[in-house]
């Protein structure tokens, strides 16, 4: 099982670890990397996955003194960029930087996906995880999850919840959460979370299950209300807000995680080298500080458990997506 990690070591130690991993890679994979590392983000610039990927690329570049960069290839619900990596030469130089929502859930949300996550990709590192928070408009007459459930149950089909778009993690998790509580809410998709928040603040949208880092400034200002967080433990930024499981209303446990994936035919020696490099990233003190500043935490999953973790996530969320009939089409 993977476990949360503590910030450890300084930049010098992290750089040494990455360099050591690189030396082993050079011995086992000869001239790898022979050119800059390109990490594909299958969504537009400026989103959460893009920003998290740029954090990783910066840490790699600083430690290796060679280029690692993000390239955005959005389209078709992230299928465009993901397929591009799956069909790229399996030499370790073109990687996919993905959120769990894309690589785990898309196979259940979209028909005829041009790749299979378990068949076409191998996990080479999980780097950060972020909690979600259930937020409501500030004047909604409910101050906890039980009161919200009662309020919504008395008004079936009349309350609304927003998301950055159909198939987004906010849509999928929101649907699973509300249907799991036996509630009937109307989903209102937007083109990005930034468009949804002003309408919530204005009282035109009732609720949203959103990334904590995106919602925190509105919660702090009292413009939106936080009822519960999705993670197994309370968020340090919201110490007085319970986890969903603590409320006793329903069971829900999830974090929005980010990871790096290579084409499945990539040689094992190159995979080992990439895993060593990414282990150095998550042990870098400045990288950890940036993740924690944004409301997340670093992840370390042992190399021999990474593919199993991906498989477990696919099985878990696939079962829930099917159970609650969530669709993006």
- Domain C-terminal end among 206, 228, 247: 247
* 57 and 159 belong to one structural domain: no
- Domain C-terminal end among 221, 247, 273: 247
* 158 and 304 belong to one structural domain: no
Query: 3-state class of 264 per DSSP?
Result: coil
Q: pLDDT tens track of the chain, all 329 residues? A: 343 343 344 445 444 444 444 444 444 455 777 889 999 999 888 778 888 999 999 998 887 767 899 999 988 878 899 999 999 999 999 999 999 888 999 999 988 889 999 999 999 999 999 999 999 999 999 999 999 999 999 999 999 999 988 988 999 999 999 999 999 999 999 987 778 899 999 999 999 999 888 899 999 999 999 999 999 999 989 999 999 999 999 999 999 999 999 999 999 999 999 999 999 999 999 999 999 988 899 999 999 999 999 999 999 999 999 999 998 87
Q: How far apart are CA 256 and CA 6, in angstroms?
A: 19
Closest CA to 237 of 142, 146, 132, 141: 132
Q: How far apart are CA 169 and CA 48, in angstroms?
A: 12
Peptide bond preceding 212 in cis form (omega within 30 of 0):
no
Closest CA to 98 of 114, 119, 66, 74: 74
- Domain C-terminal end among 198, 215, 247: 247
188, part of any domain:
yes
Q: How far apart are CA 84 and CA 64, in angstroms?
A: 26
* 156 and 234 belong to one structural domain: yes
For residue 189, what are the CA distances in angstroms to 162, 166, 171, 182, 201? 6, 6, 8, 21, 16
Query: 3-state class of 11 per DSSP?
Result: helix
Listed in sequence order, the residues at least 6 apart from 312 whose beta carbon sits closer than 8 Å to its beta carbon are: none
First CA to last CA across the chain, in angstroms?
A: 34
329, part of any domain:
no
Q: Report the CATH number that the domain containing residue 180 is assigned in CATH.
A: 3.40.190.10
The pair of three-digit structure tokens given for residue 208, joined into one six-digit string: 């949203």
Q: Decide: 29 and 267 in contact? Cβ < 8 Å.
A: yes
By residue count, the chain amounts to 329
Q: Decide: 63 and 19 in contact? Cβ < 8 Å.
A: yes
145, part of any domain:
yes
* 200 and 281 belong to one structural domain: no
* 20 and 91 belong to one structural domain: yes
70, part of any domain:
yes
* 87 and 178 belong to one structural domain: no
The pLDDT assigned to 24 comes to 42
* 176 and 240 belong to one structural domain: yes
* 242 and 293 belong to one structural domain: no
Q: How far apart are CA 58 and CA 303, in angstroms?
A: 22
* 11 and 35 belong to one structural domain: yes
Q: Report the CATH number that the domain containing residue 277 is assigned in CATH.
A: 3.40.190.150
166, part of any domain:
yes
75, part of any domain:
yes
Query: 3-state class of 305 per DSSP?
Result: helix
Write down the H helix ranges in the chain: 11-29, 48-64, 79-86, 100-109, 117-120, 145-153, 169-180, 193-201, 212-220, 244-247, 268-282, 285-293, 306-323
The pLDDT assigned to 8 comes to 40
pTM of the predicted structure, to 2 decimals: 0.85
Query: What is the number of structural domains in the chain?
Result: 2
Closest CA to 61 of 85, 37, 42: 37
* 126 and 145 belong to one structural domain: no
Query: 3-state class of 229 per DSSP?
Result: strand
18, part of any domain:
yes
182-196: b (≥16 Cβ within 10 Å) or e: ebebeebbbeebeeb
Q: How far apart are CA 165 and CA 125, in angstroms?
A: 27
* 206 and 310 belong to one structural domain: no
Q: What interhelical angle do 169-180 and 100-109 show, nearest 10?
A: 70
328, part of any domain:
no
Radius of gyration of the chain (CA): 20
Residue with tokens 């465009």: 80
Identify the domain containing residue 64 by its residue range.
Answer: 3-130+256-323
* 147 and 240 belong to one structural domain: yes
Burial class (CB in 10 A: 0-12, 13-18, 19+), 174: buried
Query: 3-state class of 136 per DSSP?
Result: strand
């Amino acid at each position: 099982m993977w476990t949360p990690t503590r910030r450890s070591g300084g930049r010098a130690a992290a750089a040494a670890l990455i360099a050591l991993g690189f030396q082993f890679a050079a011995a086992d994979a000869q001239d790898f990397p022979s050119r800059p590392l390109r990490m594909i983000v299958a969504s537009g610039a400026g989103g959460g996955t893009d920003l998290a990927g740029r954090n990783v690329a910066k840490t790699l570049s600083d430690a290796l003194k060679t280029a690692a960069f993000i390239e955005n290839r959005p389209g078709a619900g992230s299928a465009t960029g993901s397929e591009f990596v799956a069909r790229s030469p399996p030499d370790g130089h073109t990687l996919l930087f993905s959120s769990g929502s894309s690589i785990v859930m898309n196979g259940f949300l979209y028909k005829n996906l041009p790749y299979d996550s378990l068949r076409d990709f191998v996990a080479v590192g999980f780097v950060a995880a972020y909690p979600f928070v259930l937020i409501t408009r500030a004047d909604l007459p409910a101050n906890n999850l039980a009161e919200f459930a009662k309020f919504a149950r008395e008004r079936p089909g009349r309350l609304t919840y927003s998301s950055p778009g159909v198939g987004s993690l906010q849509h999928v998790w929101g649907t699973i959460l509300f249907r799991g509580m036996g509630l009937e809410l109307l989903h209102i998709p937007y083109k990005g979370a930034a468009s949804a928040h002003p309408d919530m603040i204005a009282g035109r949208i009732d609720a949203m299950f959103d990334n904590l880092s995106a919602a925190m400034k509105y919660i702090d200002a009292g413009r939106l209300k936080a009822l519960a967080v999705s993670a197994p433990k309370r968020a340090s930024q919201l110490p007085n807000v319970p986890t969903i499981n603590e409320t006793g209303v329903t069971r829900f446990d999830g974090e929005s995680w980010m990871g790096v994936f290579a084409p499945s035919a990539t040689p094992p020696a190159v995979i080992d080298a990439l895993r060593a490099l990414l282990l150095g990233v998550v042990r870098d003190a400045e990288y950890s500080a940036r993740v924690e500043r944004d409301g997340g935490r670093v992840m370390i999953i042992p190399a021999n458990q990474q593919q199993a973790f991906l498989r477990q996530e696919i099985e878990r969320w696939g079962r829930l997506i099917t159970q609650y009939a969530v669709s993006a089409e």
